[in-house]
Amino acid sequence: MRRALAILLPALVLLVAGCGGGDDSGSALGDSLAYLPKDTPVAVAIDTDVQGDQYNALGKLVDRFPFGDQIKGAVVQQLEQSSGGLSFNDDIRPVLGNPLVVGAASAQAITGESSDFVVAGKAKDKGALDDLINKLGPKKVG
């Protein structure tokens, strides 16, 4: 749980930083990529739009298995348990919708010699993100 929070909290901070701006502020993907160093050796953009084509295709694939609905339920249940009691539908889902970018800030991060990774994204709903952060109860350190 602590490891999950150690990854989740910095991501939420960057999501907060990505909130705001008008329609002319650029794309959500471009805004997220701006947090990565220019010489980032590896970056991956993850689609978080649970109503999008990629998630619909994944859902259809999982539905082909005899226990597809149980698999989906188990994934949501595991996420909720590891997040300290957050509800996926009420707390997490409203924040999703824009790409989430994960990048190695250095070549050493790829080889495991360091943990220099950057996670950045733009929250779909700033109010929902503020509520999510308040429920996590982060503490300022340093």
What is the per-residue pLDDT across 14-54, written as a single tens digit (0 to 9) for each? 444 444 444 445 788 888 888 888 888 889 999 999 999 98
pLDDT band at 90 (very low <50, low <70, confident <90, very high): very high
Q: Are 20 and 123 in contact (CB under 8 A)?
A: no
Report DSSP state, residue 1.
Answer: -
Tokens of 128: 């929902």
Beta bridge partners of 117: 104
What is the per-residue pLDDT across 61-80, written as a single tens digit (0 to 9) for each? 999 999 999 999 999 899 88
Q: Is the pTM of this model over 0.85?
A: no
